[in-house]
Amino acid sequence: DTAVSQTPKYLVTQMGNDKSIKCEQNLGHDTMYWYKQDSKKFLKIMFSYNNKELIINETVPNRFSPKSPDKAHLNLHINSLELGDSAVYFCASSQARTSGVWGPDTQYFGPGTRLTVL
């Protein structure tokens, strides 16, 4: 009964390819996120998305695009992969409201996808 799951766990691919990473949450949360963690372990927000709004970090190249088929899924599609895209990508989700009261909006993370671009 994994709360936030991602596939694949590992992804090795060639420069120039297009790839997708899938994320699913079964927590009933209303907001999902994608983060990138580089080799120095710095965790940086890429996107946040709920059913009303997509917020894009201005530093994210437009080769990266989130796609949400429904509230429980937020997939990350990457076009024309580059060497610098090699990193661990984490999906997360949160719920702002609990029983009508604003909560801490704690984010819960998936297990991560380690992307290696050769």
Question: Which residues sit at the interface with another protein, rule CB under 8 A?
Answer: 30-31, 33, 40-45, 48, 50, 55, 57, 90, 94, 96-97, 102, 104-112
Q: Please, what is the minimum distance in Å from the beta carbon of residue 67 to another protein?
A: 18
3-state secondary structure the chain: CCCEEEECCEEEECCCCCEEEEEEECCCCCEEEEEEECCCCCEEEEEEEECCCEEECCCCCCCEEEECCCCCECEEEECCCCHHHCEEEEEEEECCEECCEECCCCCEECCCEEEEEC
Instruction: Output 13 or 57, the one with its CB closest to another protein.
Output: 57
Instruction: Output 53 or 70, the one with its CB closest to another protein.
Output: 53
Instruction: Output 79 or 98, the one with its CB closest to another protein.
Output: 98
